[in-house]
Amino acid sequence: MSNVVLKVTMGQLKKMAVFYQDYVVKPVPHSLFTAKKNQTTITGYNSGKVLFQGQNAESEAAQWQASSEKVGDPKPPAAKNGLKKEVLSKTSLPAGFSNWSVIGSDEVGNGSYFGPLTVCAVYASAEQLPLLKNMGVQDSKALTDARIITIAKQLVKQVPHSVINLMPEKYNEVQPTMSQGKMKALLHNQVLDQLLKKIAPEKPKAILVDQFELPSTYFKHIADQKVQVKENIHFQTKGESHHLAVAAASIIARYYFLKTLADMTAASGYPIPSGAGANVDLIAAEMYREGGLELLDKYTKLHFANTQKAIRLANS
């Protein structure tokens, strides 16, 4: 059994906790989460260290190493002549990739109890990249929701794109027999196929998926699909920092996700929030008191731990 330990930032640790939420087991002391996936146990400690233990520890940890430090790795030698050392980004993408004509895809909502799982693909040609920069396209996590909405309303008029909103009722229908990872893979495959057909006969030089699974696992997930988009496809964590197509896809996906939450607020009469925090439990408890699981099924991802928390609050 191999062990790998990575040192990550608190922001990255929280992102990993969301990524592994479908595989969570009872946490160990002083940890933010413990999960089991691909015959590997992943433990994220509050100190920022993440321990991977098991048969596939190396491959499971590999997808996070681009944004972390491997504990035990030798330190690079100090720069000579007082020059600032060059920091190389760990990426398998070809040189000059950020300037290519690329389809990028990303998803939003996988860590939110309320609302859909939204996946978007965007085609950004090399000629459009300066326009996207001028519009303010960047990592959506660095933007306020108000700014995201403003940029997205412009983007949807400027770039070819495809969006799928997997609503809670459908999500809850398939979730008992399908992991969230497989759901995301199928949705990415679908939006990529839709967008390729939309821009035909033009073809992108490459496709970049914001990585949420190992590529081998992603391809296993879509192996039963009639259409499998595989040509010139790349996977990269923090894909939005490697090409504006992924950043644009993230912004448009977030826009549709927020719009759906607003529609849900209007339809339900409750202020529907994003996320999975304590405020979410309180609103879910009120909804449960009114309509039970049947009502929650229309608005939430029922397999989240928030469901049981809401039920306990409602019955207290």
The dihedral through the CA atoms of 302, 305, 309, 312 has a sign that is positive
Q: Which tokens go with 218?
A: 């992603």
User: Under 8 Å CB-to-CB from 258, ≥6 apart: which residues?
Assistant: 145, 148, 149, 274
Q: Which tokens go with 1?
A: 């059994």
pLDDT tens-digit readout, 197-253: 999 999 999 999 999 889 999 999 999 999 999 999 999 998 999 999 999 999 999
Which residues of the chain fall below pLDDT 70? 1-2, 66-91
213 is in an annotated binding site: no
DSSP state letters, the chain: -EEEEEE--HHHHHHHHHHTGGGB-PPPTTEEEEEEETTEEEEEETTSEEEEEETTHHHHHHTTGGGSEETTPPPPPPPGGGPPPPPPP---SPTTGGGS-EEEEEEE-TT-SBS-EEEEEEEE-GGGHHHHHHHT---GGGS-HHHHHHHHHHHHHHS-EEEEEE-HHHHHHHGGGS-HHHHHHHHHHHHHHHHHHHHTT---SEEEEE-SS-HHHHHHHTTT-SS---TTEEEETTGGGT-HHHHHHHHHHHHHHHHHHHHHHHHHSS-PPSSSSHHHHHHHHHHHHHHHHHHHHHHB-TTSTHHHHHHHHHH-
Q: Which tokens go with 10?
A: 């608190």
pLDDT value for 161: 97
Peptide bond into 201 cis (omega under 30): yes
In whole angstroms, give the CA distance from residue 294 to residue 157.
38
pLDDT value for 87: 31
For each of the domains in the chain, give its residue range(s) and CATH number, in order of start.
Answer: 2-71 (3.30.310.10), 99-263 (3.30.420.10), 270-315 (no CATH)
210 is in an annotated binding site: yes
Contact 75, 82 (CB under 8 A): no
pLDDT value for 99: 95
106 is in an annotated binding site: yes
